[in-house]
Structure 1
Amino acid sequence: MAADVRRLAATRGDLFDFIVVGAGSAGAALAGRLAEAARWHVLLLEAGGDPPEESLVPSLSSRLLHSQYDWSFSTESDHYSSQAQRGGALPLAQGKMLGGTSSLNDMVYVRGNPEDYKQWPMGWDWQTVLPYFLKSENMTDQNLLNDTNYASYHSDAGPMKVSTTDSNDSKFEELLEYMADIGMKTLLDINGPEQLGASKRYFTQSEPPSVRSSTAQSFLSPIADRKNLFVLKQAYVSKIIINEDNMALGVQAIVNKATLDFFTTKEVIICAGAINTPKILIASGIGPKNDVELLGVQLKSDLPVGSELLDHIVIPLVFTKDSDLDKNVSYPMASDINSTPTVHGFISSDSGTQPDFQVISSFLPKSSGLGYDLFYNKFNYAENIAKSVNNSNSEKDLVVFDIVLLHPASTGYVRIKDTSKSTKPKIYTGYFTKEEDFDSFRTGINLVLNITNTTSFGGVNSSLVKLGLPQCSNFDFLSDDYWRCYILNMGRTAYDLAGTCAMGKVVDSDLKVIGINKLRVVDASVVPSLPSGNINAPVIMIAERAASMIKQCYI
């Protein structure tokens, strides 16, 4: 980080106005905003430490996966879905450092569609939440800021830099043509007045040469010297301290092998994410009655904590095309996988304004090595699949279309085995437990397959790559049975985990935990239904709105 934040000299029994647990996408932003009130003493507890220098460099972020900076969660194999993943389990990257997942993700900045927020509780509609998106944003693209159609949808006054990439423009234009061929109009930005269409992607990073703009970098570093904000790193919160009147008094944390209690005069706010927040709540007696009592914990509030885990599901389609490499253009190699030309778009399968699919198209130049790196290292597919992609990539350019199901019917759940620090929660995705998700993906796949019949893509001798998928070897290639098998086995996570402490079920519309006083949850777990797109920007918006709510309560 550009500037370290103050480390608290941990003292048992210290008293604060607010205790924020988790310095991730939501927690760092929330703590930074609460500390704007100079008279409030805010304690921010983070299980990890400072992000390394690699976190700031977008092309190096993959080095942080499965390291000390990643919680390294993994799903339980259900021997049913995602069996093309190594071990049949999905690795779930979640940042364990200041900034949390915003310090290691792909930084894609997408707010979702206005229709999404009609499904959220009252007070979370699009017109209400848009100002909180704008509050954090510092858009650096002058084309958007100066365009009369887009200017009101963006801000350059917030702390978090948002910009687009400066990669090879000709390949961007080519990819946008392909997206247009499957029904997506070209937009300047999908975070503007229209979401149905395709555009270059925007990222939470500064203008080139790009530097990541995590919530730690954006909300904490600039106020490193503020005397009312205390940040305690390497502090694992094991439970919330709740009295007999169901009032949150503080938290218990493990710091340097010592167990320390910290207390609050106003509120405890849990921002530990869709996986860790359920663990903390259940360990504190808040959760399903049977789950809590099986752990030998006194029940405080019987709530469906850990239920209805939400995630966007991704299916890739890989196409070859004739190579037309321009030797005067510098293309990324395998070590720079995040810089490959990529566009994304949103499309509806009917006449509605809410998209059903996000389609991400990426260009992998011939002999780049990106095919293997992408499918094996980044997406965790089995080696035979990565090799089949690499073999095609060694001979031809590839275009990869990732089809993202934005509103799957299937949900998963998180279960807590025990409350010890070293025991990870059990995570079940629930992918394709609802039949309609198969039908939805067939629609999405057919939309993309139609591209081979178009002039721009079909004219370059394109063909669909048959991946090395032994689970589907008994089915005729491209048959209905083959596609069902392909969908079931190739489905992977978009890392948009949410919903395990949803509004209306575990917390109310003010994010207060039902049945417990002085306790809120502010993170992805409160999301009641998935927005159309990557979840990082909506999570930061939730933190901005929560900060405003809290200030209105106490100021």
Structure 2
Amino acid sequence: MLVKILFYVVALFVNVVQLENITRKWPKNANVAGGDLFDFIVVGAGSAGAALAGRLAEAARWHVLLLEAGGDPPEESLVPGLSSQLLHSQYDWSFSSEGDHYSSQAQRGGALPLAQGKMLGGTSSLNYMVYVRGNPEDYKQWPKGWDWPTVLPYFLKSENMTDKNLLNDTDYAACHSDAGPMKVSTTDSNDSKVEELLEYMTDIGMKTLLDINGPEQLGASKRYFTQSDRPSVRSSTAQSFLSPIADRKNLFVLKQAYVSKIIINEDNMALGVQAIVNKATLDFFTTKEVIICAGAINTPKILIASGIGPKNDVELLGVQLKSDLPVGSELLDHIVIPLVFTKDSDFDKNVSYPMVSDINSIPTVHGFISSDSGTQPDFQVISSFLPKSSGLGYDLFYNKFNYAESVAKSVNNSNSEKDVVVFDIVLLHPASTGYIRIKDISKSSKPKIYTGYFTEEEDFDSFRTGINLVLNITNTRSFESVNSSLVKLDLPQCTNFDYLSDDYWRCYILNMGRTAYDLAGTCAMGKVVDSDLKVIGINKLRVVDASVVPSLPSGNINAPVIMIAERAASMIKQCYI
């Protein structure tokens, strides 16, 4: 254990030393005063807000105020793989779901930790950086003006793809850009294991692609991340959109500024916001618009505190109703179920494996598969390799995925004697939805988050389909040749059921389901905002973040959220320039 810790410390030191050559100049804290007037006020400097404010500030005559409840990202944020060091710290809002005594009971405490970044860059400063845009079919379900041909240019606008293999391939180059501010790259370590994992994905039914963000999504490829190549540095929206313009005179970034409400007059026009800064309550005003970018959890709280939300909820809080809208009523999230397999070890002592489960260093691939031969995938499958006696299984399942110790020990015990391959099955379009309730609008009060997992019966059936697709691998030559077997996890909740029976799998799915951290939909287009992201019934107010997503894309949500910010910036410029 001591050797492991020392290795980790040395690896951290090397990564931090590499950062010395990387620009990370954050904007200075703005010198502003209560009553100051700005063209635009952007609330929240996260995945969407930092990108949006940076784009709006391109118009030199506009004064843009960006308010962020947190501060600058720490060094750990810039080093890929160290995001878990920031969980439950001052850089994380430390939200968790409300225990429902039904789903996710294999999680410690029966509730899900729902990490959300509280710093410049927001969640893009602590997430796993996976870059996935989704499937063109996804955007047919979005309102008019958000179809794939319309949104693709905004994905490209932010992207700076560094993989020359993609850029030199005619078919893939047409799907990528190397001109945007946000670096996107892949990892090239442990290539033999990556190729092995791709073979396993082929056995499941996914052909190998150069990139799943290319001409087609159905298939498997290496993973791409929002990070630079060498040295490897996180490319959050703070690093990409704010750091390069840290000295811009028309961008005012006020940190440690908690926005408590939107100031709305009797004509339902947003005039500005009220913020708590150093225990003082300050009002800031706008000539054009207030834009809320506080995320799927905090945006509902700000709106409801301002009188925008379900009539009963707003009035119970003693707030004057401004617009009766279903704020917080439909929380979306991707649900993940892991399957763990052992295999004979072919550990190569000449290959350097990580001492902690750094998602960028563990050999990992991902793919997308449709269960009905359609062009839109039903499942994302992520396969990861853990070498024998690495201890990575415990770290991954206990520290990263928050499972109970009994579950983590099951994986670790199996990993002590054999290599382990983990298949994470992600249900991309669950029927179940949750909701958010605001019981108190004070600064210290957190929203109540109800995931709603498996409240719709069809999600059990969907997951059984996904599990069966992955279990097919046990009958393939590649797995039989390495004596692979499914690990029986220690799940006290499921001990009364015959192992691998229908009742067992239902219990397994219900208890092992965890979040993919793709929270969205709480202020959806068509329900709370219109297709231009304007809040229905309120003038000069927009929402630009994951909360406006009307249905989940097929994959991780960070890239689509940044795309939304890029498109919103273009909309706003068209309105006023």
Q: Please give the range of the TM-score, normalised by the shorter of the 2 chains.
A: over 0.9
Q: Secondary structure at the match of 2:170?
A: coil
- SS of 2:497's equivalent in the other structure is coil
- Residue 208 of structure 1, CA deviation: 3.0
Is the CA contact (8 Å cut-off) linking 1:337 and 1:374 kept in structure 2?
Answer: no
Residue 127 of structure 1: how far off its partner (Å): 0.2
Partner of 2:303: 281
Q: Tell me, yes or no, if the aligned pair for 2:345 and 2:418 is still in contact at 8 Å.
A: yes
1:421-444 superposed Cα distances (whole Å, 9 cap, x missing partner)? 000000000000000000000000
Structure 2 distance, partners of 1:475, 1:167, is: 41
Q: What SS does structure 2 have at the residue aligned with 1:336? A: coil
Moved more, 6-15 or 225-234: 6-15
Deviations 1:74-102 (A, max 9, x none): 00000000000011000000000000000
Structure 2 distance, partners of 1:338, 1:467, is 26
CA contact (8 A) 2:521 2:548 kept: yes
Give the CA deviation at 1:166.
Answer: 1.8
Deviations along 1:271-322, whole A, 9 cap, x unmatched?
A: 0000000000000000000000000000000000001100000000000000
Q: Who is 1:3 aligned against?
A: none
Contact 1:93–1:495 under 8 Å retained in 2? yes
Match of 2:476 among 444, 454, 460: 454
Secondary structure (helix, strand or coil) at the match of 1:447 reads helix
Whether the 8 Å contact between 1:74 and 1:92 is mirrored in structure 2 is: yes
The alpha carbon displacement at 1:10 in A equals 3.1
Secondary structure of 1:134's match?
helix
Separation in 2 of the partners of 1:338 and 1:364? 13
Residues 426 and 195 (structure 1), Cα distance of their counterparts in 2 relative to 1, 3 Å cut: same
Distance in 1, matches of 2:505 and 2:481, equals: 25
Alignment partner, residue 95 of structure 2: 73
Q: How far apart are the structure 2 equivalents of 1:224 and 1:250? A: 24
User: Which digits, 9 at most, give the CA deviation of each residue in 1:149-190, with x for residues without a partner?
Assistant: 111100000000000002110000000000000000000000
Give the C-alpha shift of residue 457 in structure 1: 1.6
Q: Does 1:434 align with 2:434?
A: no
Q: Indicate if the aligned counterparts of 1:288 and 1:302 stay in contact, CA closer than 8 A.
A: yes
- The superposition leaves residues 491-549 of structure 1 with CA deviations (integer Å, 9 ceiling, x where unpaired) of 00000000000000000000000000000000000000000000000000000000000
Deviations 1:115-166 (A, max 9, x none): 0000000000000000000000000001101101111100000000000002
Asked whether the 8 Å contact 1:132–1:545 carries over to 2, the reply is yes
Provide structure 2 residue ranges, at least 5 long, that are not aligned to the other structure: 1-27
Structure 1 residue 337 displacement after superposition: 5.1
**Identical columns (%):** 93
Distance in 2, matches of 1:430 and 1:61, equals 27
Asked if the contact 1:82–1:88 (Cα under 8 Å) also holds between the matched residues in 2, the reply is yes
Whole-Å separation in 1 of the counterparts to 2:227 and 2:356: 21
Cα RMSD, aligned residues only: 0.6
Shift of 1:328: 1.4
Residue aligning to 1:418: 440
**Distance in 2 between residues matched to 1:55 and 1:450, nearest whole Å:** 39
Is the 8 Å Cα contact of residues 165 and 208 (structure 1) preserved in structure 2?
no
Q: Secondary structure at the match of 1:315?
A: strand
Residue 459 of structure 1 and its aligned partner are, at CA, apart by 1.4
Distance in 2 between residues matched to 1:274 and 1:254, nearest whole Å: 21
Q: Which moved more, 1:495-504 or 1:325-334?
A: 325-334
Whether the aligned pair in 1 keeps the contact of 2:357 and 2:396 (CA below 8 Å) is: no
How many Å apart are 1:331 and its aligned residue? 1.3
Distance 1:241 1:221 in 2: 30
Distance 1:37 1:195 in 2: 36
**Counterpart Cα distance in 2 of 1:225 and 1:185:** 47
SS class of match (2:352): coil
Describe the shift of the 1:483–1:335 C-alpha distance in structure 2 as closer, same or farther (beyond 3 A).
closer
Instruction: Report Cα offsets for 1:52-82 as digits up to 9, x if no partner.
Output: 0110001222100110000000000000000
Q: d(CA) in 2 for partners of 1:65 and 1:199?
A: 29
**Inter-CA distance 335–505: structure 2 relative to 1 (3 Å threshold):** closer
Q: Distance in 1 between matches of 2:94 and 2:50?
A: 20
Map 1:278-357 to 2 at 5 A. 278-334=300-356, 336=358, 338-357=360-379
The CA distance in 1 between the partners of 2:442 and 2:558, in whole Å, is: 28
Return the alpha-carbon distance in structure 1 between the equivalents of residues 573 and 171 of structure 2. Answer: 33
Match of 1:82 among 104, 110, 132: 104
CA separation in 2, counterparts of 1:335 and 1:241? 45
Q: In 1, are the aligned partners of 2:187 and 2:360 still within 8 Å (CA)? A: no
Distance 2:107 2:83 in 1: 21
Residues 335/127 of structure 1: CA separation in 2 closer, same or farther (3 Å cut): closer
Q: CA deviation at 1:458?
A: 2.1
- 1:338 deviates by 4.1
TM-score by length of 1: 0.99
2:398 maps to which residue? 376
CA contact (8 A) 2:128 2:359 kept: no
Q: CA deviation at 1:335?
A: 5.9
Deviation at 1:336, TM superposition (A): 3.7
Q: CA deviation at 1:193?
A: 0.5
Matches within 5 A, 1:521-536: 521-536=543-558
Aligned residues: 550
1-side partners of 2:507 and 2:260: how far apart? Answer: 42
Query: Is the 1:320–1:396 contact (alpha carbons within 8 Å) kept by the matching residues of 2?
Result: yes
Preserved CA contact (<8 Å) 2:332 2:521? yes
Cα deviation, residue 405, structure 1: 0.0
Task: Please state whether the residue corresponding to 1:226 is helix, strand or coil.
Answer: coil
Cα distance in 2 for partners of 1:338, 1:67 equals 22
Query: Structure 2: how far apart are the matches of 1:198 and 1:298?
Result: 51
User: Could you list the runs of 5+ residues in structure 1 that have no partner in the other structure?
Assistant: 1-5
20-29 or 205-214, which moves further after superposition?
Answer: 205-214
Partners of 1:309 and 1:287 lie apart in 2 by 14
Residue by residue over 1:375-411, the C-alpha shift from the partner in whole angstroms, topping out at 9 and shown as x without a partner, is 0000000011101111001111000000000000000
Looking at structure 1, the residues matched to 67 and 441 of structure 2 have their Cα atoms a distance apart, in angstroms, of: 18
Q: How many Å separate the matches in 2 of 1:167 and 1:61?
A: 20
- Cα offset, 1:7, TM superposition: 1.3
**Alpha-carbon distance in 2 for matches of 1:10, 1:395:** 61
Give me the whole-angstrom Cα distance separating, in 2, the residues matched to 1:86 and 1:10.
44
SS of residue matched to 2:261: strand
Q: Is the alpha carbon distance of 1:71 and 1:417 closer, same or farther for their aligned partners in structure 2, counting shifts above 3 Å?
A: same
The CA distance in 2 between the partners of 1:147 and 1:177, in whole Å, is 22
Q: Does 1:145 align with 2:167?
A: yes
Checking the alignment, whether the CA contact within 8 Å between 1:337 and 1:370 is kept in structure 2 is no
In structure 1, the residue corresponding to 2:538 is in which secondary structure? coil
* SS of structure 1 residue aligned to 2:82: helix
Q: Where do 1:49-448 residues align within 5 Å?
A: 49-334=71-356, 336=358, 338-448=360-470
Query: What secondary structure sits across from 1:263 in the alignment?
Result: strand
Cα distance, 1:209 vs structure 2: 2.6
In structure 1, the residue corresponding to 2:244 is in which secondary structure?
helix
1:39 and 1:228 in contact (8 A); partners too: yes
Preserved contact between residue 166 and residue 208 of structure 1 (Cα < 8 Å): no
TM-score by length of 2: 0.95
- Distance (Å, rounded) in 2 between the aligned partners of 1:304 and 1:346: 32
After alignment, is 263-272 or 206-215 more displaced?
206-215
The answer (yes or no) to whether the contact 1:159–1:219 under 8 Å persists in 2 is yes
**DSSP 3-state at the match of 2:460:** helix
Aligned partners of 1:228, 1:337: CA distance in 2, in Å? Answer: 38
Distance in 1 (alpha carbons) for counterparts of 2:497 and 2:287: 64
| Deviation by residue 1:222-243 (Cα, 9 ceiling, x = unmatched) | 0011000000000000000000
Query: What is the alpha-carbon distance in structure 2 between the residues aligned to residue 66 and residue 505 of structure 1?
Result: 32
| 1:311-367: CA deviation from partner (whole Å, max 9, x where unpaired) | 000000000000001111111122645410000000000010000000000000011
Contact map agreement 1:35 1:42 (CA 8 A) in 2: yes
